[in-house]
Chains A and B, each alone.
Chain A
Amino acid sequence: MSSFGLSKKNTLGDRLIIGSVIVLALVMIAPVIWVIGLSLKDNSELMANMNSVFHGPYTLANYFHIFGSSSVFRWVLNSVIVSGSVTIGILVLTSLAGYGFARLNFPFRNTIFIIVLLGLAIPEQAVLIARHQIFSEIGLHNTYYALILPGLSAPFGVFLMTQFFRAIPKEYDEAALLDNASRFKIFWKVLLPLTLPAQATLGIFTFLLAWNDYFWPLITATRKEMYTLTVGIASSQTNFAQSEGLGFLMAQAVFASAPILIVYLFFQKYIVTAVSGSAEK
């Protein structure tokens, strides 16, 4: 089954298509290979002659240097704390809210839900400045609070979890009601375990977005030790025009990409579901 219908597989046309896709892939990966190559060279060698990247000797010195430098590790730690907290927070908040919107009745429920959905249309830039002011007022810049809390207001998770809860047959709730379960117990013991796929998908999605966030961490974490990895990498970029420590910089980039790529490879199934799920809006 393909986009071209049921015609015979492995025709010349097919091979050409896959061939061009592979060629394009090679073009796409070239920059990455370049970066990796640079990261494996001694800095001074590169400074002397850039072409030295195409032949040995290769070295892991730059990577060892990272382990010596404390900043990068601090940044990784910050990212892990922030992304992890946002993810857990979102999962808890949106599961509760999703259950509330999908299964329970309270005054103005539908209106409130629509307002939350409208929140999806608000771009980050329309709230950033005001948020910055708010956190200035309460003096919470350069803290984990400032990095974590705004992420918990994102409506996408509520939308996803509400849809998911709605899709679970109501009979489970009814059987549980007859089994003398309280509404919370129905949420906790009966329905929540059935939402694990959605939790995984939402969790991965949220973690990724939080990890890669740039603008907000940039303006709220101004002290070096509060940088997240994303912001930290950007800060070391600024003066490599002198190509001093170029190899080291590239090693940092590779090192910074590694965690997120590993997470991606492990969880690609859920990421794909997240993306395709939102196509069915």
Chain B
Amino acid sequence: MSDAQSTRAALARNERKGLKTGTANINAPRWRNALFIAPYMVFFVTLLVLPMLWNIWLSLHRADAFSIGRFIGIGNYDRLLNDAIFLKAVWNTFYFVLLSVPPLALIGLGLALALNRQTRTAAALRTFYFSSSVLSVTIVTLIWRIVFIGQFGLLATIYGWFDATPPAFLSDPDLVMIGIAIATVWWCIGLPMMLYLSALQQIPKEIYEAAALDNAGRWRTLRYITLPSIKRTVILVVIIQIVMQFQLFGQAKLMTNGGPNNESLPIVFYIYQMAFTRWDIGLGAAASEVLFVMILIAAMVQFMVSRKKGDAQ
């Protein structure tokens, strides 16, 4: 069979196999194409969308481990607002965000600015500073408990050389949140640093060259050229960190168990206690909805503030 014949034969074979012809427009929408997204969408709907909606529904009922119970509308939310512990948890969470986000944003920025160079030392240090973020919360809390713990912790041992007692970061009500914040900053510093670095590396070299020709010294360059160029990233970092730290859980549970006296109880730990220790599912769900809304509002406020600043430029 000649070559020409064999191609024609092959094409004819395919047509006989009943392959669809008559598709006039390859870009036309076809349900068949949705098969590609179908597997993922199954999980998305059943394990993300449905639970999210179900959670809201649960929050409106007096639910427990065994049944969904009575519909009580905003009853759970009412209970939350009247629960001193919940309100304390909200306060604690805000306090914690205030304690942890500024250091994360600023120290991260400082590290990124300092390590934004091509030397091998800088590269090694960057790898080092990010490595703590790779650990799980349980390991981080283990490490910091053994640092803070009275009598035989690292701090205690060092203070012991001077015959002094260290601040009781795990038991002093005024210090517990600070202790958790210190551990958190140690743990999470890598991400802000990396985000800043990536933004810094996108500043075109020509801008620095122009500044050099304009006789700008180191600090001027930093203040008027470098920092303004990464403003958007600073805002992004702050938004991300606020959202992340609002969700504080593991450190509080494992380092201080929320104590003493609920001094270090964040909202997520409250949710965990209500839903999975007391099995007051409805209340826990309601608290999680409140957290959800708080996070959304915080992120949106930040976003709008940044928009305004951007417009004003």
Chain B residue nearest to A13 (CB atoms) is B218
C-alpha spacing A257/B143, complex, angstroms: 11
C-alpha spacing A281/B233, complex, angstroms: 10
| B226-251 contact mask (Cβ, 8 Å, vs A): 1 or 0 | 10000001001000000100010110
Interface residues of B in 240-286 (CB under 8 A from A): 243, 247, 249-250, 254, 268, 271-272, 275-276, 281, 284-285
C-alpha spacing A122/B208, complex, angstroms: 40
Residues of chain A within 8 A of B117, CB atoms compared: 1-2
C-alpha spacing A92/B286, complex, angstroms: 35
Q: Are A6 and B36 in contact (CB under 8 A)?
A: no
C-alpha spacing A275/B133, complex, angstroms: 12
Residues of chain B within 8 A of A211, CB atoms compared: 136
C-alpha spacing A271/B41, complex, angstroms: 26
Q: Are A22 and B125 in contact (CB under 8 A)?
A: yes
Given A112-B37, A123-B292, A187-B36; A50-B195 close (CB under 8 Å): no
Given A130-B55, A230-B137; A149-B43 close (CB under 8 Å): yes
- B2 proximal to A (CB < 8 A): no
Chain B residue nearest to A105 (CB atoms) is B29
Given A100-B33, A100-B36, A125-B291; A215-B249 close (CB under 8 Å): yes
Residues of chain A within 8 A of B271, CB atoms compared: 125, 128-129
B232 CB to closest chain A CB, in angstroms? 9
Residues of chain B within 8 A of A7, CB atoms compared: 212, 217-218, 221
Interchain CB contact (< 8 A) of B34 among A46, A100, A122: A100
Q: Are B127 and A129 in contact (CB under 8 A)?
A: no
Residues of chain B within 8 A of A24, CB atoms compared: 111
Binds B, one of A32-40, A56-64, A66-74, A194-202: A32-40
| B130-143 contact mask (Cβ, 8 Å, vs A): 1 or 0 | 11101111110111
| A255-281 contact mask (Cβ, 8 Å, vs B): 1 or 0 | 011001101110010011001100111
- Number of chain A residues whose Cβ lies closer than 8 Å to a Cβ of chain B: 103
Given A35-B146, A105-B33; A257-B205 close (CB under 8 Å): no
B295 CB to closest chain A CB, in angstroms? 6
Q: Are A212 and B135 in contact (CB under 8 A)?
A: yes
C-alpha spacing A272/B197, complex, angstroms: 10
Q: Are B37 and A233 in contact (CB under 8 A)?
A: no
Chain B residue nearest to A16 (CB atoms) is B114
A-B complex: 4 closest residue pairs judged by Cβ atoms: A100-B36, A276-B198, A5-B221, A130-B51
Sample of 16 more A-B contacts, CB < 8 Å, known A5-B208, A106-B30, A134-B47: A4-B221, A18-B121, A22-B125, A34-B154, A100-B37, A127-B51, A127-B52, A131-B51, A158-B40, A183-B33, A230-B136, A230-B138, A237-B145, A260-B136, A264-B131, A276-B197
**Which residues does A use to contact B, with CB under 8 Å?**
1-7, 13, 17-18, 20-22, 24-25, 28-32, 34-35, 38, 46, 50-51, 53, 92-94, 96-97, 99-101, 104-107, 109, 112, 115-116, 119, 121-134, 136, 149-150, 152-155, 158, 177, 180, 183, 187, 208, 211-212, 214-215, 219, 229-231, 233-234, 237, 241, 243, 246, 249-250, 253, 256-257, 260-261, 263-265, 268, 271-272, 275-276, 279-281
**Which residues does B use to contact A, with CB under 8 Å?**
14, 26-37, 39-41, 43-44, 46-52, 54-55, 58, 65, 111-118, 121-122, 125, 127-132, 134-139, 141-147, 149, 151-152, 154, 156-157, 160, 186, 191, 194-195, 197-202, 205, 208-209, 211-212, 216-219, 221-222, 225-226, 233, 236, 243, 247, 249-250, 254, 268, 271-272, 275-276, 281, 284-285, 288-289, 291-292, 295-296, 299
